[in-house]
Chains A and B, each alone.
Chain A
Amino acid sequence: MNVAGIDLEVLRRAGLGGAPPILLLHGIDTIRPEAPFLDGLAELGEVIAPSHPGFGKSPRPEDFDTVYDLVHLYLSVLDAIPAERVRMIGFSFGGWVAAELAAAGHRKLDRLVLVDPVGIKLGGREERDIAHFFNTSPDELNCRAWHDPTKRPANCYGLGWHSAIGDAMSDDDMIRLARGWDALCLYGWRPHMFNPQLKQWLHRISAPTLALWGASDGIVTPEYGRAYAGLIPGARFDMMDAAGHHPELEQPAAFIERVRGFFQDGHP
């Protein structure tokens, strides 16, 4: 896909005819073809999963280095998708971008699902809302990000991916993770993974919204998630057991069930 002169690697999964396509904004890593939720999601609509510039095989233009750039890029992606309505799911860092985009508004945005998103500051100045992605030890990140790190699906990575480095990880995976880690840092180092202004504009989100949270998330806690959802008019908050920061990977069936319910209900 080429949007606004920017090449994007896109993973697509053909879906239910007639249903709005589903745009996925990934988090720490690109959406992998092996992701255990893809087939179930495709039953709800065509899945379109671009890799952010700097991630996967998407090049990053020289001066493309902020979340501001990502928001405008994905507004352009929404323009370019040949459908009148689009549903959007943002994971972790991608959830932040999705929330920014939804606050800016786009006429095609039909449903918004935020999965353990980062992006806002809620606590006091001496409270850390979001575990530091880059300054925390890999082992601690791995523990915080997963309900059970040993059940991470093969070839799918989230926070704490460093702990998976070993013979089973291919060179291509390492290079992809390294590229993404660099790009993520460029976009989100300071302030670390939030926009101080976003909180006061979440009320502008008009698309029906579901905030999904892993009950064991130690990166951004369910309390943070509940408060996040509370700032979005009419948003529904739902928690998934036995899942951490990446519930779509740890509990794919439960994840699909909730998204299906939300899409079919049509109303939060």
Chain B
Amino acid sequence: MELWNHCENPYPFVPNEVLDQAESVRASLPNKYCDPKIAAQLYDEIFDEYRLCDDIGINIVTNEHHSGINNLWAASPVITGVVARLTRKVRILSLGTLVTVRPDPVRVAEEYATIDVLSKGRLEIGFVKSGATEMVSGDANPMRIREREWEAIDLIEKSLVTQDGPFSWEGKFFIHPHVNIWPRPYQQPRPEFWAATSDLPTCAELGRRNIVNTLLFGGYDRTRQAFDAYKQARTEAKMPAPGEDRFSYMAFAYVGDTDEEGMRIGQKIAWFLTVSIKSSPQFSKFQPGAVAPEMAPAAWRSGASRRPRPTNLDAEVLIGQGQMFAGNADTVARQIREFRTRVGGICHIIMMTRQGLVTHAEAEASFTRAAKYVLPQLQDLPPIDTDETAWHARRAADAAQ
């Protein structure tokens, strides 16, 4: 298995009274509340964490969000380009730039090809559909984003692999009559593709395309169902069964010196859920496309949004749901191994550790322990026992009833 460090570079320094009064902490919170000197310090600290990860063998994930306290990575290709020059060894995954918001996928392809060359072939390219406040801050129509995302992926892929261009693209969403990127990617024919989704039809399509499927905080059952959809689609298409390297999972993670420390600091990561996703209804449940019309009565009456705020964020509960790995190194390794068994096999664990009020020193300590004590316990694992995975699934289904 491989471990990855994903930090969203949050900005948890806006006064609570401001956050309490704001209808949304994304899209509409004025940037006067972001002190650029503090931001500069955050960039320094997190890039130092990336350098540490490069030294100790933990891969790096970047992403982007806009106009909010949750994320200061305004452009994943920019940040990934910096990481490419700061590091020498580890893999770098951009997960990703928001292709449903970017007007020209060809430029995205060219930026990624540049990073792949800069990093001498260490780039992995991830796609996320995004939505909600990103549609607002990017002025992108929230309708049809799934179709737009797939067309963008197709155009990016063709831009990366075509070596005898220019070629022309006149699609439903993107028009580019003269595509010919320079440089072409370092890896041939192109860097690996990843995508983050739990939508089952999309997971199936990822399976048919052999794209790495990442789940974000999906917990045991949703993750297993997503991976099953991926595998099933390949079976139906008479394609070879996927290896565990096709599956990835992002969880909150903190490796402490002791279980107590792991739990205590892990608890601080929950800021991501308690504070950073606060969003006004027009940016969430009432945004066009947020829920299928036939689901609107249930969603609107219950007040549920597409990203409901969890009611119980106790670290133990999050661990029990498979959304957090926390404790001492042995505990975390055991939690990850159990997760692997229950979801039917997985190769990539993406740790969201530097989140909320977790400090630079705390993050570095966790990464160091993860590399030294957890990662060795995740190597040379026995093949997945499908009977055991099925037993866990039945048990979960019974419990749900």
Contacts and interface: CB of A to CB of B under 8 A. Distances in A.
Interface stretch (B213-221, B279-287, B310-318, B389-397): B279-287
Interface in A108-152: 134-138
B288 A181 contact: yes
Contact of A162 (B142, B172, B281): B281
Interface stretch (A87-95, A170-178, A240-248): A170-178
B301 A165 contact: yes
Given A185-B288, A186-B141, A137 B296 contact: no
A69 interface: no
A137 B282 contact: yes
Contacts of A138: 281-282, 286
Contact of A137 (B140, B141, B280): B280
Contacts of A65: 144
B136 interface: yes
Given A136-B282, A165-B300, A189 B293 contact: no
- Give the dominant DSSP class at B's interface: loop
Contacts of A174: 296-297, 300
Interface in A161-197: 162, 165, 171, 174-175, 177-179, 181-182, 184-186, 189-190
A63 B147 CA distance: 12
B143 to A, nearest CB: 5
Size bracket of the A interface: 20 to 34
A165 B282 CA distance: 14
B170 interface: no
B380 interface: no
A178 B296 contact: yes
Nearest to B28: A135
A149 B140 CA distance: 30
Contact of A182 (B136, B172, B288): B288
A165 B297 CA distance: 9
Contacts, number: 59
B139 interface: yes
B143 A185 contact: yes
Contacts of A181: 286, 288
A135 B297 contact: no
Contact of B282 (A135, A184, A189): A135
Contacts of A165: 300-301
A169 to B, nearest CB: 9
A190 B282 contact: no
A135 B136 contact: yes
Given A134-B282, A135-B136, A165-B301, A184 B294 contact: no
A135 B286 CA distance: 10
Contacts of B143: 182, 185-186, 189
Interface in B163-209: 172
B297 A171 contact: yes
Nearest to B133: A135
Given A135-B136, A190-B139, A190-B141, A185 B289 contact: yes
B42 interface: no
B294 to A, nearest CB: 6
B141 A185 contact: yes
Contacts of B301: 165
A177 B283 CA distance: 17
Given A134-B288, A135-B136, A189-B142, A175 B280 contact: no
Interface string B100-117: 000000000000000000
Given A162-B281, A185-B288, 7 more contacts: A134-B287, A165-B301, A174-B296, A175-B296, A189-B142, A189-B288, A190-B141
19 contacts: A65-B144, A134-B142, A134-B288, A135-B283, A137-B281, A137-B282, A138-B281, A165-B301, A174-B296, A175-B293, A178-B296, A179-B293, A182-B289, A182-B293, A185-B289, A186-B141, A186-B143, A189-B288, A190-B141
